[in-house]
Amino acid sequence: MAYVITGLCVRDGSCAEVCPVECIVPGPEGDPQWGMAYFINPDDCIECGACANECPSNAIFPEDEVPEEYKEWIAKNRAFYEEGPGYSAR
Amino acid sequence: MTIVNDMTFQIAGAAGQGVESSGAGFAEALAKGGLHLFGLQDYMSRIRGGLNFFQIRVHERPLYAHQEAVHLLLPLNEEALEGCRAQVVKGGGIIYDENLKVDRRILAGQGYTPMPVPLVEIAREHGERVMANTAALGAAAGVVEYSYERLADVIRQNFRRKGGEVVAANLRVARAAYLYARERYAADFEWKLAEVPGAPRRMVLSGNQAFALGAVAGGCRFIAAYPMTPATSIIEWMARHEQQLGLVTKHAEDEIAAICMAIGANFAGVRAMAATSGGGFSLMVEALGLAGMCEVPLVLFEAQRGGPSTGLPTRTEQSDLLFVLHASQGEFPRLVLAPGTVEECFECGWRAFNLAEKYQTPVIVLSDQLLASSLRTIEVEALDFDRVVIDRGKLLGQEELDALTGPYKRHLLTDDGLSPRAVPGHPKAVYATASDEHDELGRISEEMNNRRKMVQKRMKKLETARQEIAPPTCYGPAEAAVVLVGWGSTYGVLREAVDRLNGQARLVHFRDLWPFPAQAAAEALRGGRLLVVENNYTGQFRRLLQSETCLQVDHTLSRYDGRPFSVDDILTRVQELGV
Amino acid sequence: MAGSAQDYASEVKPTWCPGCGNYGILNALRQALIQVGLAPHQVFIVSGIGCGSKLPDYIHANGFMTLHGRPLPIATGARLANPGLKVITVHGDGDSMGLGMGHFIHAARRNIEIVDLIQNNQIYGLTKGQYSPTSDPGFVTSTSPEGALEAAANPVALALAAGGTFVARGFAGDPRHLADLIAAAIQHKGYALVEILQPCVTFNRKNTYDWYRKRVYQLEDTGHDPGDRVAAFQKALEWEERIPLGLFYQTRRPTYEEQVSVLQAGPLATRPLEKLTPAQVDNLRAEFM
Question: How do strand B70-75 and strand B512-514 relate by DSSP bridges?
Answer: unpaired
The whole-number pLDDT of residue B532 equals 98
Tell me the pLDDT of chain A averaged across its residues: 95
Question: CB-based contact (8 Å) between C283 and chain B?
Answer: yes
Nearest to A48 among C23, C174, C176 (CB): C23
For Cα atoms C247, C249, C250, give the angle at the middle one, nearest 5 degrees: 100
A touches which chains (3+ CB pairs under 8 A)? C
The string of pLDDT tens digits covering residues A67-81 is 999 999 999 999 999
Note which residues in 98-137 of chain C have CB less than 8 A from chain B. Answer: 102-103, 106
- Strand-pair partners of B95: B115
- The residue of chain C with its CA nearest to that of A19 is C19
Tell the CATH topology of B473-577. Rossmann fold (3.40.50)
Contact C173 A22 (CB under 8 A): yes
3-state secondary structure of C125: coil
Query: Which is nearest to C22 in space by CA: C192, C146, C198, C177?
Result: C198
Query: Which is nearest to C280 in space by CA: B216, B250, B215, B211?
Result: B216
pTM: 0.95
Instruction: Give kind and range of the element (H or E) at residue C213.
Output: helix C209-215
Dist CA C197 CA C173 (whole Å): 8
> In chain C, what's the furthest Cα-to-Cα distance?
73
To the nearest whole Å, the CA of B513 is away from the closest chain C CA by: 27
Residues of A in contact with C212 (CB under 8 A): none
Query: Which is nearest to B367 in space by CA: B231, B475, B274?
Result: B231
Domain B205-387 belongs to what architecture?
3-Layer(aba) Sandwich (3.40)
Question: CB-based contact (8 Å) between C20 and chain A?
Answer: yes
Query: Which is nearest to C91 in space by CA: C9, C194, C236, C201?
Result: C194
Residues in chain B, how many?
579
Q: What is the CA radius of gyration of chain A?
A: 11
To the nearest whole Å, the CA of B155 is away from the closest chain C CA by: 14
Contact C24 A47 (CB under 8 A): no
- The residue of chain A with its CA nearest to that of C209 is A20
Domain ranges of chain C: 21-286
Question: CB-based contact (8 Å) between A7 and chain C?
Answer: no
Q: Are B468 and B355 in contact (CB under 8 A)?
A: yes
Note which residues in 56-85 of chain A have CB less than 8 A from chain C. Answer: none
For Cα atoms B400, B402, B408, give the angle at the middle one, nearest 5 degrees: 80
Dist CA B31 CA B377 (whole Å): 7
DSSP strands (E only) in B358-466: 362-368, 375-379, 432-434
pLDDT above 90 for C282: yes
Dist CA B8 CA B57 (whole Å): 4
Residues of A in contact with C23 (CB under 8 A): 20, 46-49
Q: Do chains C and A touch (3 or more CB pairs under 8 A)?
A: yes
Contact C18 A50 (CB under 8 A): yes
Q: Are C69 and C100 in contact (CB under 8 A)?
A: yes
Dist CA B95 CA B107 (whole Å): 11
To the nearest whole Å, the CA of C173 is away from the closest chain A CA by: 5
Q: Which candidate in C110, C273, C274, C281 is best for mutational testing of the B interface (most B CBs within 10 A)?
A: C273
Tell me the pLDDT of chain C averaged across its residues: 96
Q: Which candidate in A3, A19, A21 is best for mutational testing of the C interface (most C CBs within 10 A)?
A: A21
| Position C43 confidence tier, pLDDT thresholds 50, 70, 90 | very high
CATH superfamily of C21-286: Thiamin diphosphate (ThDP)-binding fold, Pyr/PP domains (3.40.50.970)
Dist CA B518 CA B215 (whole Å): 28
Query: Which is nearest to B8 in space by CA: B31, B37, B29?
Result: B37
**Peptide bond preceding A42: is omega within 30 degrees of 0, i.e. cis?**
no
Contact C41 B287 (CB under 8 A): no
Domain ranges of chain B: 3-199, 205-387, 394-468, 473-577
C-alpha dihedral (B93, B95, B100, B102), degrees to nearest 10: 10
The whole-number pLDDT of residue C2 equals 83
DSSP strands (E only) in chain C: 43-47, 62-65, 86-92, 115-120, 166-171, 192-197, 216-218, 243-250
Q: Are B188 and B181 in contact (CB under 8 A)?
A: no
Q: End-to-end CA distance of chain C, in Å? A: 54
Question: Average pLDDT, stretch C190-210?
Answer: 95
C-alpha dihedral (B294, B296, B301, B305), degrees to nearest 10: 0
List CB contacts of C136: < 8 A, sequence separation 6 or more.
C122, C148, C152, C206, C207
Dist CA B108 CA B311 (whole Å): 38
The whole-number pLDDT of residue C206 equals 94
| Position A57 confidence tier, pLDDT thresholds 50, 70, 90 | very high
Q: How many CA atoms lie within 13 A of C99 on its CB side?
A: 18
Q: Phi first, then psi: what are they for C34, rounded to 5°?
A: -65, -45
The whole-number pLDDT of residue A49 equals 94
**Checking phi first, is residue C34 left (phi over 0); if not, alpha (psi -120 to 50) or beta?**
alpha
Q: Are C212 and C243 in contact (CB under 8 A)?
A: yes
Name which CATH class applies to B3-199.
alpha beta
Dist CA B119 CA B140 (whole Å): 11
Q: What is the mean pLDDT of each run of 10 residues along chain B (579 residues)?
A: 94 90 92 96 88 95 95 96 95 96 94 96 92 94 96 91 92 96 96 96 96 98 97 97 97 98 98 98 98 98 97 97 98 98 98 98 98 96 96 97 96 98 97 98 97 98 97 97 98 98 96 98 95 98 96 94 96 91
Dist CA B398 CA B393 (whole Å): 14
The whole-number pLDDT of residue B243 equals 96
* B456-459 contacts at long range (C-beta below 8 A, 24 or more positions apart): B456/B417, B457/B411, B457/B413, B457/B414, B457/B417, B458/B292, B458/B293, B458/B295, B458/B332, B458/B333, B458/B361, B458/B417, B459/B331, B459/B332, B459/B333, B459/B417
What is the ipTM, given to two decimal places?
A: 0.96
Q: Return the DSSP state at A30.
A: T
Dist CA B50 CA A75 (whole Å): 84
